[in-house]
Amino acid sequence: MMSVENFNEIKKTSFWVSQLFILVSTVVGVFLAANQGYQQAVQFENMTSYKENYYLQKSLQYELQDNIAILKELMIRLQDPNYFGARNESPNFYSLVWENMKYSKTTLGTPPEFLRLAQQFYRNIATTQQKIAKGDISIPSGIKQFQAQIDIIEQQLIPALEKSTEQIKKELDGTSVIL
């Protein structure tokens, strides 16, 4: 038979063992909960970033398409011999998206080659227009340069933006993010 003293000793040992298990399980539980919370926060941030980048790229795409239409109208006016102000007319581009990209943290999430092509388009169009206005180049030569810039945007940048936004859309499929 077991003595009272041995019985009390067993009770003390089992008490401390149970306390140790409670402590370990609490620490593991807190760690797992914190880890899961962190993963959810990172996932939320990624989804938000994807959504913002989708809208930024789509908006840039639409703005560029609208500006190409404006440039094509200018090119038609430049070829009209009865329109004397054409040489000094500059395209009145929409620039809301392009200008606001300076202040958006999402801009830096946009692939650099997209930004580079858009920047070159705006810069080269402005330079060509200035040369036409000053008479440094002929109108037909300027129109060829305009068309070269349009071709780059229509053949390279617009398809790349469409492909990128489709990829982002695929990433967001199956999530609760609505585009």
pLDDT-based confidence at residue 130 (cuts at 50, 70, 90): very high
Residue 34 in any domain: the answer is no
Q: What is the rounded average pLDDT for all residues in the chain?
A: 89
Q: Is the pLDDT of residue 15 over 80?
A: no
* Distance in angstroms (rounded) separating the CA atoms of residues 146 and 71: 8
Q: Is the pLDDT of residue 2 over 70?
A: no
Residue 116 in any domain: the answer is yes
Structural domain total, the chain: 1
Residue 36 in any domain: the answer is no
Residue 69 in any domain: the answer is yes
Mean pLDDT (whole number) for 156-179:
90
Question: What local confidence, expressed as pLDDT, does residue 177 receive?
Answer: 76
| 137-158 tens-digit pLDDT | 999 999 999 999 999 999 999 9
Residue 79 in any domain: the answer is yes
Q: Residue 76: which domain range? A: 51-172
Q: State pTM to two decimals.
A: 0.78
Sequence-ordered list of residues with C-beta below 8 angstroms from that of 133, at least 6 positions apart, any chain: 87, 88, 90
CB 72 within 8 A of CB 41: no
Residue 129 in any domain: the answer is yes
Question: In this structure, which amino acid lies at residue 68?
Answer: I
